[in-house]
Amino acid sequence: MSRRKLIIGNWKMNNGPMEAHQFLHDLEDELKNEKIAKDVDFAIAAPFVALPFMIGHSHEEGKEAFYLPLAAQNFHYEEKGAFTGEISLDMLDQLGLEYLIIGHSERRQLFNETDEIVNKKLLAALKTQMTPVLAFGETESEFDANKTETVIKNQLTSSLKSVKENEMEKIVLAYEPIWAIGTGKTASPEQAQKAVAFARTVVAELFNSDIADKVIIQYGGSVKPENVKELMGQKDIDGALVGGASLDAKSFAKLITFDKQK
Ligand code: PGA
């Protein structure tokens, strides 16, 4: 089964409209001489305030050739109402976004998002045209205690609760060991491959092996131009969710042209 690769840059709380403007111009320059492989998709999950501006840029006159798909880092699962400070899925749909990150460990750990909330968000996202990217992964102490597989199984089982087979086909998964996020401590390609392959078996158990074969599973955690090619070369790893190394256009260009890296 040959699956497409998907590289998503997650800017987190970095790069506002002004930095996004610079990024887009620099990225266009970087990609002038580099071809992105046909089987690679990519996107940037920018802060909410930068998104409308970036959509505008993609559609600027004379710029049709350059289109940067966009993702949201967060949203509320309720349709609308008195939720001060929150953003609804309909608002994001109106912008024409393509992906929604759900269940990132920073949301889970710093903003108390439980598996139940993650599940509610996922079920709400499935009612839209946007593709949910569901993140999961173990903490350092769980990794040290050899609990990686148990955590992956539990998180996927509860986050994917009530998801139907035809809906699962629309979901992207992102394995992100928490100890590797923003720490410079990347999982070795073998560790990442093993965990991602295990996640695929969980999908096979929860749904079926055909769906498990097709589901795109990214790896995330200190992915950078220097290690992206080897990680992407692993049998079960279908892309990357990248924080720090996606902030700069030169580095992001290298990530999405990983097949050309050393
Ligand atoms: P990092 O972040 O690439 O900076 O480690 C990854 C992520 O949080 O998705």
CA distance 155 to 113: 12
Q: How far is the CA of 250 from the centre of ligand 1 (A)?
A: 17
Name the residue type at position 192. Answer: A
Neighbours of 224 (CB within 10 A): 18
Residue among 30, 57, 104, 113 flagged as catalytic: 104
- Specify the residue for token string 């089987």: 39
105 lines ligand 1 (CB under 6 A): no
Q: What is the pTM of this model?
A: 0.95
177 lines ligand 1 (CB under 6 A): no
Which residue CA neighbors atom 2 of ligand 1 most closely? 243
Is residue 42 within 8 Å of 256, Cβ to Cβ?
Answer: yes
Averaged pLDDT in 10-residue chunks for the chain of 262 residues: 93 97 92 88 97 80 71 98 98 96 96 96 98 97 96 97 97 96 87 97 98 97 95 97 97 95 77
Structure confidence at residue 136 (pLDDT) = 97
| Residue 186: closest CA among 258, 141, 243 | 243
Q: How far is the CA of 177 from the centre of ligand 1 (A)?
A: 10
